[in-house]
């Protein structure tokens, strides 16, 4: 059997190229001969039958598109000859039976986490700065620069030193191309148990709708209450829509027994900027001393809450990294942990499969409502889920949104779906939950952390540097070429699945082991090392 192509499901009428295939190549796959009528780059698909205008295209066993004109077998699928199509969906009582993976080897496993008063366990111990309004961003930038440099949380100064060396070379008339990067020694961190100081700079809080301010308040409150956050400093201006009192109210509604150090300071209530910054730094420093007393202690794996996300996806995402992460998700669910999947525009085409995995009708109805409202909103402004694939997705083989979605859904595994959460709603049930967010990388990870994710598994086929301020984000490459080329942002290489060196189950177990190491502070993901702290609140407009 050929190892150059793959048929994912028996129902499929396309094959995926695992390597670059030239026009005229003859293949035999599962006893059938194929001749390619054009070049098929790796990750792309070709039709295995003659196709007629309007005929349905299946991949992953689901409808993913319709052909636009008559095609011969061996022709490459493109955006010109195939357009998005997806089956309708509805609630139907389903007797879904899940075969949980064997997890006895992990029964006595634990991770070293930070235990909070509300019973949650963090995988990190962060101090968090929150502005109620964008007017405070500059003040936070000054504080960040000061604390990062002095307390050892800054990224290597090599680029600053490089620029300085370039300036000297320019002034001396030397060759700029002879200057190279020189790493510098890092400042020793005085607070050993404080994993980072994080900042939620944003563009909201005033000037938008009151609904946006209300949503932002709930989002910021969820971050303050996050298990990975040990203390919080809130800076307000004083005249904005998002009042400090509203943020306090939302925080206490989320956690009436909130006991973390919490500092509120208002610029318009203090004498001047200098007094504000001095007071903020001093009071935060006292808070850092306090949370530095917290130490990691063993916790069962059931205390993990792992978000699964894909971004910069390619034609291998749905057959290597995503199903491997999906197997890891199934292991976690079988161990009693929480798993969060999101990106509603990237569930288009697999809705029925997901609905059939929801044993509770109210949960299914909520999912249908959120999906319908979201897609209707997109169509009202001339868009739609079908416009979701990016140019990079298309270039690397994701021709329709349904293809992208069918592969994206693999990272959620196969377990029953216990809950559906609207944006900013917290995850409260063990098992797999769906969180309503855009597919946009940062808006989705921002929403997952708000729901309570304490780790995020992020698969990528093209290379995406996305991280999150409070949730360590682990990057899983779909192919080895990417893992080597962008080793500075990739943590795990799932290309071994494509190359046949590991099974999906073996890779899933490797991913779980890495998650445990990160949750224990023994491994630091690249996004955390680089301070890749991306945070974009969703304003509930049309974002795919």
Domains in the chain with CATH codes: 5-84 (2.30.130.110), 126-153+189-293 (3.40.50), 304-460+475-491 (no CATH)
Closest-CA residue to 335 (of 115, 122, 508): 508
How much of the chain is in helix, strand and coil states, percent to nearest 5? Answer: 35, 20, 45
| Closest residue by Cα to residue 453 from 299, 305, 302 | 305
Q: Which pLDDT does position 207 carry in this prediction?
A: 87
Start-end of H helices in 94-234:
137-151, 158-172, 210-224
Q: Give the up-direction half-sphere exposure of residue 55: CA atoms within 13 A in the CB hemisphere.
A: 16
Q: Which residues make beta-bridge pairs with 82?
A: 67
Give the separation between CA 384 and CA 382, rounded to whole angstroms.
7
3 state DSSP class of 215: helix
pLDDT of residue 1: 35
Per-residue model confidence (pLDDT) at position 392? 86
Q: Give how far the C-alpha of residue 337 lies from the chain's centroid of Cα atoms, to the nearest Å.
A: 18
- Enumerate residues 6+ apart whose C-beta is below 8 A from 398: 313, 314, 315, 317, 389, 404, 407
CA dihedral sign of residues 537, 216, 539, 325: positive
3-state secondary structure 408-448: HHHHHCCCCEEEEECCCCCCCCCEEEEECCCCCHHHHHHHH
Cα dist from 374 to 287, 311, 391, 438, whole Å: 41, 20, 22, 9
Q: Looking at the chain, how many residues does it have?
A: 544
Q: What local confidence, expressed as pLDDT, does residue 542 receive?
A: 64
Angle (deg, nearest 10), helices 273-291 and 137-151: 50
Tell me 205's DSSP state. S
Structure tokens at 188: 């020793």
Strand pairing category for 492-493 and 455-460: unpaired
For the record, the structure tokens of 512 come out as 């779980």
Q: Could you tell me where the DSSP H helices lie in 21-174?
A: 137-151, 158-172
What is residue 455's predicted lDDT score, i.e. its pLDDT?
98
Opening angle at CA 60, ends 54 and 62, nearest 5: 45
Q: What percentage of residues in the chain have a pLDDT greater than 70?
A: 99
Residue with the bigger pLDDT between 107 and 22: it is 22
Q: Which two tokens stand for residue 283?
A: 């009071």
376 or 512, which is more confident: 512
Per-residue pLDDT reduced to its tens digit, 25-72 = 999 999 999 999 999 999 999 999 999 999 999 999 999 999 999 999
Report which of residues 1 and 147 the model is more confident about: 147
* Token pair listed for 466: 């996305």
Lowest mean per-residue pLDDT among 76-90, 175-189, 405-419, 455-469: 175-189
**Element (H or E) spanning 95, and its range?**
none
Residues 177-228 pLDDT 10s: 999 998 887 889 999 999 999 999 999 999 888 899 999 999 999 999 999 9
Question: Is the Cβ–Cβ distance between 514 and 523 less than 8 Å?
Answer: yes
Full strand arrangement of the beta sheet holding 110-115: 121-122, 110-115, 297-300
- pLDDT, tens digit (0-9, with 9 covering 90-100), for 112-139: 999 999 999 999 999 999 999 999 999 9
Sheet of strand 492-493, all strands in order from the earlier edge strand to the far edge: 417-421, 431-435, 338-341, 305-310, 455-460, 473-477, 492-493
DSSP 442-471: HHHHHHHHHHT-SEEEEEESS------SSS
379-412: pLDDT as tens digits = 888 887 777 788 889 988 899 989 999 999 999 9
What is the C-alpha separation between 289 and 273, in angstroms, rounded?
24
* Mean pLDDT, all residues of the chain: 94
* Contact (Cβ atoms closer than 8 angstroms) between residue 459 and residue 500: no
Q: Beta 126-131 vs 297-300: how paired, if at all? A: unpaired
What's residue 544's pLDDT? 59
pLDDT at 460: 97
- pLDDT higher at 100 or 210: 100
C-alpha 231/C-alpha 261 separation (Å) is: 5
Phi, psi of 86 (to 5 degrees): -145, 150
**What value does the mean pLDDT take over residues 259-286?**
94
State residue 176's pLDDT score.
95
Q: Are 47 and 32 contacting, i.e. CB atoms less than 8 angstroms apart? A: no
Q: What are phi and psi of 98, to 5 degrees?
A: -105, 130
CA–chain centroid gap for 271, Å, is 41
Name the phi and psi angles at 523, rounded to 5.
-125, 140
Which of these, 151, 231, 123, lies nearest to 472 by C-alpha position?
123
User: Cβ(60)–Cβ(9) under 8 Å?
Assistant: yes
| pLDDT at residue 2 in the model | 52
Q: What is the pLDDT of residue 182?
A: 86
- The answer on pLDDT for 165 being more than 90 is yes
Q: Where do we find the tokens 């919490």?
A: 262
Mean pLDDT of 429-434: 98
Burial of 25 (0-12, 13-18, 19+ CB in 10 A): middle
């Amino acid at each position: 059997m050929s190892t150059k192509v793959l048929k994912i499901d028996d129902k499929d009428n396309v094959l995926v190229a695992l390597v670059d295939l030239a026009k005229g190549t003859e293949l035999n796959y599962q006893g059938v001969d194929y001749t390619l009528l054009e070049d098929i780059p790796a990750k792309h698909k070709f039709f295995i039958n003659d196709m007629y205008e309007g005929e349905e295209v299946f991949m992953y066993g689901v409808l993913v598109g319709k052909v636009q004109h008559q095609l011969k077998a061996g022709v490459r699928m493109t955006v010109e000859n195939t357009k998005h199509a997806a089956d309708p969906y509805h609630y139907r009582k389903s007797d879904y039976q899940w075969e949980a993976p064997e997890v006895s080897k992990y029964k006595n496993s634990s991770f070293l986490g930070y235990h909070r008063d509300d019973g949650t366990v963090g995988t990190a111990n962060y101090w968090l700065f929150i502005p109620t309004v964008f007017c405070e961003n500059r003040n936070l930038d000054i504080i960040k620069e000061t604390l990062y440099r002095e307390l050892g949380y800054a990224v290597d100064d090599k680029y600053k030193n490089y620029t300085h060396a370039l300036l000297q070379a320019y002034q001396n008339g030397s060759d700029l191309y002879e200057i190279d990067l020189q790493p510098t020694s890092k400042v020793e961190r005085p607070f050993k148990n404080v994993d980072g100081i994080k900042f939620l700079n944003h563009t909201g809080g005033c000037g938008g709708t009151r609904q946006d301010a209300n949503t932002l308040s709930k989002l910021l409150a969820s971050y303050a209450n996050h298990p990975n956050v040990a203390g919080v400093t809130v800076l307000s201006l004083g005249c904005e829509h998002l009042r400090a009192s509203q943020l306090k109210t939302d925080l206490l509604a989320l956690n009436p027994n909130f006991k973390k150090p919490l500092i509120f300071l208002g610029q318009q209530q203090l004498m001047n900027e200098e007094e504000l910054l001095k007071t903020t730094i001093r009071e935060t420093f006292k808070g850092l001393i306090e949370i530095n007393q917290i130490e990691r202690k063993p916790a069962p794996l059931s205390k993990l809450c792992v978000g699964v996300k894909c971004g910069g996806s390619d034609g291998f995402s749905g057959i290597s990294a995503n199903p491997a992460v999906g197997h890891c998700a199934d292991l976690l669910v079988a161990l009693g942990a929480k798993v969060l999947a999101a990106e509603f525009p990237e569930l288009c085409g697999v809705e029925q499969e997901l609905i059939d995995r929801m044993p509770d009708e109210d949960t299914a109805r909520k999912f249908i409502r959120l999906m319908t409202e979201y897609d209707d909103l997109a169509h009202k402004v001339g868009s739609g889920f079908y416009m979701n694939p990016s140019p990079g997705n298309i270039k690397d083989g994701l021709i329709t949104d349904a293809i992208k979605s069918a592969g994206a859904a693999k990272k959620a595994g196969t377990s029953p779906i216990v809950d559906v959460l609207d944006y900013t709603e917290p995850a409260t049930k063990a098992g797999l939950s769906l969180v309503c967010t855009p597919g946009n990388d940062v808006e989705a990870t921002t929403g997952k952390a708000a729901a309570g994710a304490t780790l995020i598994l992020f698969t990528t086929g093209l290379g995406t540097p996305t991280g999150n301020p409070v949730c360590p984000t682990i990057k899983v490459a779909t192919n080895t070429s990417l893992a080597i080329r962008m080793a500075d942002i990739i943590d795990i290489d799932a290309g071994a699945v494509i190359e046949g060196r590991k099974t999906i189950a073996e890779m899933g177990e490797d991913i779980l082991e890495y998650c445990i190491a990160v949750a224990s502070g023994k491994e630091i993901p690249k996004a955390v090392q680089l301070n890749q702290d991306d945070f974009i609140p969703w304003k509930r407009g049309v974002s795919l």
